């Protein structure tokens, strides 16, 4: 009897199609799919949502679809650029929409594996973003996988689905594998 595939949702990027954080996230989801997961990407313009408003009538169809997918998810990978020392408003607002999951039987990210990628032009910013994403995953009751990935986009370039730095590509692959592996453990 075969078990269903783990469902991994990726959220992140910028409003600029093809940003480093979007490409790093897409690469992570590709690696997750290679590990046998079903994946769904919410990137860039998918995250152009109104500021989160808890009023039930304020949800857009796009936000509702994202929340429905997050409810179904066994794992989540979040990638954010560093904007002025922290997670971008675009990504933070998307995360804020998880408040819609506050009354669910499996509240927020409870019982879900969480992977994090922080991107920025330099060495300091990506680490700060990574720490913030991991803190948010913890606050949302998710299970951060051991490896988070900090990407210095001044050095690391993404194109055609690949990464210029083999060590960073390997970190993204390991992190994605950890998300899939932990998702399977939570599923059993």
Whether 123 has a pLDDT exceeding 50, the answer reads yes
Q: Average of pLDDT values for 68-85?
A: 97
Q: Average of pLDDT values for 25-48?
A: 97
Tell me whether residue 37 is exposed, middle or buried, using C-beta atoms within 10 angstroms of its C-beta: 0 to 12, 13 to 18, 19 or more.
Answer: buried
pLDDT for the residue numbered 98: 97
pLDDT for the residue numbered 56: 79
Domains annotated for the chain, with CATH where assigned, are 7-187 (3.40.50.360)
Determine how many CB atoms are found less than 10 A away from the CB of residue 60. 12
pLDDT single digits (tens) 37-76: 999 999 989 999 999 999 878 899 999 999 999 999 999 9
pLDDT for the residue numbered 1: 40
Percent of the chain past pLDDT 70, that is, above it, reads 99
pLDDT single digits (tens) 1-18: 458 999 999 999 999 989
Determine how many CB atoms are found less than 10 A away from the CB of residue 161. 9
pLDDT for the residue numbered 37: 98
Q: Average of pLDDT values for 90-101?
A: 97
Is 113:145 a contact under the CB 8 Å cutoff?
yes
pTM above 0.85, yes or no: yes
Structure tokens at 135: 């803190």
Mean residue pLDDT across the chain: 96
Report CA Rg, the chain: 15
Positive or negative: CA dihedral 41, 46, 47, 51: negative
- The 3-class secondary structure across the chain, one letter per residue, is CCCCCCEEEEEECCCCCCCHHHHHHHHHHHHHHHCCCEEEEEEHHHHCCCCCCCCHHHCCHHHHHHHHHHHHCCEEEEEEEEECCEECHHHHHHHHHHHHHCCCCCCCCCCCEEEEEEEECCCHHHHHHHHHHHHHHHHCCCEECCCCEEEECCCCCEECCEECCHHHHHHHHHHHHHHHHHHHHHHC
CA distance 181 to 5: 11
């Amino acid at each position: 009897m075969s078990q269903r595939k783990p469902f991994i949702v990726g959220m992140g990027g910028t409003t600029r199609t093809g940003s480093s954080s979007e490409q790093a996230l897409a690469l992570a989801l590709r690696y997750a799919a290679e590990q046998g997961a079903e994946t769904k990407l919410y990137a860039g313009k998918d995250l152009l949502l109104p500021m989160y408003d808890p009023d039930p009538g304020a949800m857009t169809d796009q936000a509702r679809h994202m929340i429905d997918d997050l409810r179904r998810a066994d794992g989540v990978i979040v990638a954010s650029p560093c904007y002025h020392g922290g997670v971008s408003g675009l990504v933070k607002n998307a995360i804020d929409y998880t408040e819609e999951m506050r009354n669910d039987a499996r509240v927020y990210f409870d019982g879900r594996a969480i992977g994090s990628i922080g991107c920025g032009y330099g060495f300091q910013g990506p680490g700060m973003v990574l720490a913030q994403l991991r803190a948010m995953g913890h606050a949302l009751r998710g299970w951060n996988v051991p490896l988070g990935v900090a990407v210095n986009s001044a050095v690391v370039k993404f194109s055609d689905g690949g990464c210029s730095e083999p060590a960073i590509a390997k970190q993204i692959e390991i992190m994605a594998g950890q998300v899939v592996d932990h998702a399977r453990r939570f599923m059993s």
